[in-house]
Structure 1
Amino acid sequence: MAFKQLVFSGVQPTGNLHLGNYLGAIVKFVELQKHFECIYCVVDLHAITTWQDPEELPKAIREVTAAFIACGIDPKKHIVFNQSQVAEHAELAWVFNCVARMGWLNRMTQFKEKAGKDRENVSVGLFAYPTLMAADILVYRATHVPVGEDQKQHLELSRDIAQKFNNDYSASIAKHGFGDAFFPQPEPLIQGPATRVMSLRDGSKKMSKSDASDYSRINLTDDADTIAQKIRKAKTDPEPLPSEEKGLETRPEADNLVGIYAALKDTTKADVLREFGGAQFSTFKSSLVDLSVAKLGPIGGEMKRLVADPAYIDAVLADGSNRAREIAAKTMLSVKDIIGLVRR
């Protein structure tokens, strides 16, 4: 059957949203609004797979919501909400726990990386959260998901779960009038330069809110002076910028800064190098400072204004949750019929 085109994606509320979150995810969310109906979620149930301070979590949820709005997501035209307010996410996740296979989850490389050598002591939620991610997407029967390279494996799992559900219950799906498939096969949307932004202190590591050094990242709430200082102190090498992309292959810090500039200006690395090839980093960094402050300064200011009005943020989340629940509830009622549960 043909599925209505719909985009779903989410961001964890774990504090300190940074340039990597913006360029790798949120800026894409804003662009997708022009072409799709979109549902954007603050995935607070994913956040608690590791312990979160109950005093800080509400602030982090509101901060992500503020970032969505400050960056240009329109919560009136599209749906913005937090996951825990729509119980159908967790309900469908349990159904998917019974569809997914242990072997599939055991192959998830991100779990292995996060758990490290202490796998026996991590939460069951950290192990099983890819099935919740599948439920997040499929409870809306979403067809497209903007993802970074590190989430592609989880989206593949979502596709596997959707396919197995469709196969396992094919007769019941047809009986209830849904043709040969109830869930779509969601497609990844990976676009544009700098989808993977690296640390300003080490070009081999992804920019991360957990890095001990605040100089490793540009936070979305940083003011102009802080942004400028961090870029000027960013690690580089003594050579001038190359004129072609091939010259960046063995220079991770240079590659990262050029990628950031390209993404902020909505151009390509090749175009950036045509403009700055042969220039010293001092010249390039000055231009990058100007561009970064112009792009990020207004976002940080608007985020601070919105966070200072928690009643407004909560009203946005409540409205979005009500609209999301209407869609999710219909999906869950159909799922219960398909798998043979008795309901009112």
Structure 2
Amino acid sequence: MFSGIQPSGALHLGNLLGSNLRWVTEQDRTDAVFCVVDLHALTIPKAPGEIGAASLELATRLFAVGLDPDKCVFFIQSTVPQHAELAWIMQTVTAFGELSRMTQFKEKRGQAESGDGFVSAGLFTYPALMAADILLYDTTEVPVGDDQGQHVELTRDAAGRFNSRYGDTFVLPKATLPQAGARVMDLQSPTNKMSKSADTEAGIIYLSDSPATITKKFKRAVTDSETDVRFDVANKPGVSNLLSILGAATGRTPEDAATGIERYGDLKVATAEAVVELLAPIQARVAELEADPGEVRRNLALGTERATARAADVMDRVWDRLGTLRP
């Protein structure tokens, strides 16, 4: 399987419970390739050095969460040049119309236009790079969210088109719906997903937040004017969000998490305590890795070496099928 994550800022509880912990489980189940997709991050203008610093911070936290370089291949995308190489090939077998129909492009274009107005060509063609990311490792399964199925279908279409023109080269991947992680909502706006783009950080629990900060944010979490503690997303989104978080942090269902809790104040305290306990070993490991950043870099270098070997084999196959003149 292949999965990537952009270095777009500090990890929060939604990232952890929604996908990061699932990566840790997947590395024990299958041949897993994970990647910090820093080339994708370049589609939006960044200050010099910003992406590198964000990539190192993200990698540090993912290792702290539990990614093991002995169990998975984990690396920074730009350190394996075959990603950019195959991305160009994928652009030649991807239609303009296919790219223009990508829902995420329409959304991100709107965001860019509402900002500085600059919409890069890379923002338009990034699904071709995403296809390259997937195909370079003979990926059979790609875990996707609700908004990413389109990209896997485009990857399958482009790979199938290449195979038809030049002979069997690529494995056609399948989109898989991962086992549902907790859907963590904003503590101040519980009908919206927890996101770094929120208007206020009061509703976001960052993995780096102190126990005192975590407790304060949960105590101020929005609930409702009723008094009964029950899991009912439609009618009690705030309470249901707290129960989802409490359940995920303690290995229970939201319904089971509600057992024995009668007051909202008690629910907030219990949820805060569970999250503090969940994050404590992660924060301790982050501190160790930040004290020795060489360990993170060594582990990433190992991932780059292993990824490059696999990607080079696939690119040799691609160039052989294309029949271009090689040295």
Q: TM-score, normalised by structure 2?
A: 0.92
Per the alignment, residue 299 of structure 2 pairs with 316
The alignment status of 1:235 with 2:232, answered yes or no, reads no
1:248 counterpart letter in structure 2: V
1:263 counterpart letter in structure 2: A
Per the alignment, residue 204 of structure 2 pairs with 217
1:233 counterpart letter in structure 2: R
Per the alignment, residue 179 of structure 2 pairs with 191
State the distance in 1 between where 2:159 and 2:227 align: 50
Given the alignment, which residue of 245, 250, 255 partners 1:260?
245
CA distance 1:159–1:337, change in 2 (3 Å):
same
State the distance in 2 between where 1:208 and 1:318 align: 30
Per the alignment, residue 97 of structure 2 pairs with 103
| Residues 258 and 272 in structure 1, CA contact (< 8 A), matched pair in contact too | yes
Q: Secondary structure at the match of 2:147?
A: helix
| Residues 264 and 292 in structure 1, CA contact (< 8 A), matched pair in contact too | yes
Question: How many residues are aligned here?
Answer: 324
State the distance in 2 between where 1:220 and 1:91 align: 35
Deviation larger for 29-38 or 113-122: 113-122
State the distance in 2 between where 1:129 and 1:151 align: 13
Q: Secondary structure at the match of 1:291?
A: helix
| Residues 243 and 255 in structure 2, CA contact (< 8 A), matched pair in contact too | no
Q: CA RMSD in A?
A: 2.0
Deviation larger for 84-93 or 292-301: 292-301
Deviation larger for 225-234 or 287-296: 225-234
Higher relative contact order (CA 8 A, sep 6+): 1
| Residues 63 and 303 in structure 1, CA contact (< 8 A), matched pair in contact too | no
Give ranges in structure 1 of 5+ residues lacking alignment: 1-6, 174-180
The 4+ residue runs of structure 1 with deviation greater than 6 A are none
Q: Secondary structure at the match of 1:80?
A: strand
Identity %: 42
CA distance 1:133–1:289, change in 2 (3 Å):
same
State the distance in 2 between where 1:137 and 1:331 align: 11
Per the alignment, residue 315 of structure 2 pairs with 332
Per the alignment, residue 288 of structure 2 pairs with 305
Alignment of 1:123-134 (within 5 A): 123-134=120-131
The alignment status of 1:65 with 2:59, answered yes or no, reads yes
Alignment of 1:1-344 (within 5 A): 7-116=1-110, 118=113, 121-169=118-166, 172-173=167-168, 182-194=170-182, 196-241=183-228, 243=230, 245=231, 247-273=232-258, 275=259, 279-344=262-327
Q: Deviations over 1:216-256 (max 9, x none)?
A: 2111111211111111112211223454x5x3223332332
State the distance in 1 between where 2:251 and 2:130 align: 30
Q: TM-score, normalised by structure 1?
A: 0.87
Per the alignment, residue 178 of structure 1 pairs with none
Q: For residue 206 of structure 1, report the CA deviation from its aligned partner.
A: 2.1
| Residues 62 and 307 in structure 1, CA contact (< 8 A), matched pair in contact too | no
Give ranges in structure 2 of 5+ residues lacking alignment: none
